Amino acid sequence: MNDAGKTNLHHANPVNKTITLLAIESSCDETSAAVIRDGKVLANLIANQKIHEQYGGVVPELASRAHMQNIVPVVDLALKQAGVEKNELQAIAFTQSPGLIGSLLVGASFAKALAVALNIPLIAVHHMKAHVLANCIDEPRPSFPFLCLTVSGGHTQIVLCKDYLDMEIIGQTIDDAAGEAFDKTAKLLGLPYPGGPLIDRYAQQGNPHRFHFPRPQVPGYDYSFSGLKTAILYFLREQSAEDASFIEKNLPDICASVQQTIIDILMQKLIKAAEDTGIREVCIAGGVSANKGLRKRLLEEAEKRGWHAYIPDFQYCTDNAGMIGFMAYHQYLAGAFTDLRVTPSARGDWKMAES
């Protein structure tokens, strides 16, 4: 179809008027809705989907089905909690990419219908950029330009953020994400899903220098975690062959050593990026930024190197609509609305929408 007749629900905003947005996030296994007024998060509701635990990972079809049942209650509760009526909303924002396509489609379709029904503009948000801006939601906020290490189950990126809508990926994983390395290690150790947070918990009681795993040699600021995953698999297989209860006896030390290795790998490139760019405003973001070991290490490096380090509030680390709404607020100010024919995308285009 051609572009003729494209519909853009675009309204001029009178000067000095408050801007109230509803944001919807449904990229993976969390259904979330948030209400944002003038860049301030009034409500940020997140419905987790317990159903995936029994399968040891997110089952896309089950996630799509659960979003369908969560979307209305979550949106309704967010508006009620914020004390905002539907007719007070100036725009609807939603996660356009990246993510599981079936999951994205539920949130996107619902958001588009709301925009049509309320006759207000639609804002398509890039999930990974929103993670970066999660650092700017509350005080203390980093000043531009800052570096952000975004670490989650699906992504590992170093982003150079020059302004709210001006970001550049300077390094990223060439294979597995760091969060995947945590979750897959947990699976090898027989820990229940999601295992990343459990590794963190056991690591607190273990010796991080007890076992040694290889650090990958990848050029630039890029990462690789697939070799580490294989090394851990072989290590556990060999040790368990000698002593069947090896894992049981050494769980805290294994967790601490694996966690230390992943954090070392992550920090090494972040330090290099900070040194090369001369930027001292350094943030972390994404689900793995909830990891205690990573948080502690970031603060230690900041102390040592004279950085100002930032970590988002826990509710803005994992997938949440608050960060989608915050990013959307800045897109709103820039007049970066989207056409009604926008569709979600699994892979995502870093240069999309707001530019």
Partner 1 sequence: MARLILIDTATAAGSVSFAEEGRVVASFGHSQAEDHAAYIADYVYRGLSQLQLNGTAIDAIAVSAGPGSYTGLRVGLSTAKGLCYAWNCQLILLPTMEIMAAGYRQLHPEIHEPGFLVPVLKSRKNEVYAALYKTDGTTIEPARPVQLDEEDFSTWRNYLPMHVFGEGADRIINKLQPLSVKIALDTTYQLHASHMAELAERAFCSGQFADLAYAEPFYLKPTYVGK
Q: Which residues of the chain form contacts with partner 1 (CB under 8 A)? A: 1, 5, 7, 9, 55, 59, 61-62, 64-65, 68-69, 71-73, 75-76, 86, 101-102, 105-119, 340-344
Neighbours of 181 (CB within 10 A): 28
Burial class (CB in 10 A: 0-12, 13-18, 19+), 43: buried
Would you say 116 or 231 has its CB closer to partner 1?
116
- Smallest separation (angstroms) from partner 1 to the CB of 112: 4
CA-to-CA distance for 93 and 116, rounded, in angstroms? 13
State yes or no: 152 annotated in a binding site: yes
- Smallest separation (angstroms) from partner 1 to the CB of 19: 19
State yes or no: 127 annotated in a binding site: yes
State yes or no: 291 annotated in a binding site: yes
Q: Are the beta carbons of 45 and 33 closer than 8 angstroms?
A: yes
Would you say 118 or 271 has its CB closer to partner 1?
118
State yes or no: 179 annotated in a binding site: no
Query: Which of 328, 332, 325 lies closest to 43 in space, CA to CA?
Result: 325
CA-to-CA distance for 179 and 287, rounded, in angstroms? 8
- H-type alpha helices, 171-219: 178-188, 196-203
Would you say 67 or 330 has its CB closer to partner 1?
67
- Smallest separation (angstroms) from partner 1 to the CB of 240: 22
- Smallest separation (angstroms) from partner 1 to the CB of 321: 15
- Smallest separation (angstroms) from partner 1 to the CB of 64: 6
Classify 37 as helix, strand or coil: strand
Would you say 90 or 173 has its CB closer to partner 1?
90
CA-to-CA distance for 136 and 169, rounded, in angstroms? 18
- Smallest separation (angstroms) from partner 1 to the CB of 101: 8
State yes or no: 154 annotated in a binding site: yes
Q: Are the beta carbons of 231 and 265 closer than 8 angstroms?
A: no
State yes or no: 150 annotated in a binding site: yes
Would you say 16 or 87 has its CB closer to partner 1?
87
Would you say 106 or 311 has its CB closer to partner 1?
106
- Smallest separation (angstroms) from partner 1 to the CB of 286: 26
Would you say 9 or 136 has its CB closer to partner 1?
9
State yes or no: 319 annotated in a binding site: yes
CA-to-CA distance for 251 and 59, rounded, in angstroms? 28
Peptide bond into 194 cis (omega under 30): yes
Residues in CB range of 72: below 8 A, 6 or more apart: none
Residues in CB range of 136: below 8 A, 6 or more apart: 142, 164, 326
Q: Detail the DSSP E strand segments found in the chain.
A: 20-25, 30-37, 40-48, 91-97, 122-126, 146-151, 156-163, 166-172, 281-285, 308-310
* Binding-site residues for substrate: 150-154, 183, 196, 200, 291
* Binding-site residues: 127, 131, 150-154, 183, 196, 200, 291, 319
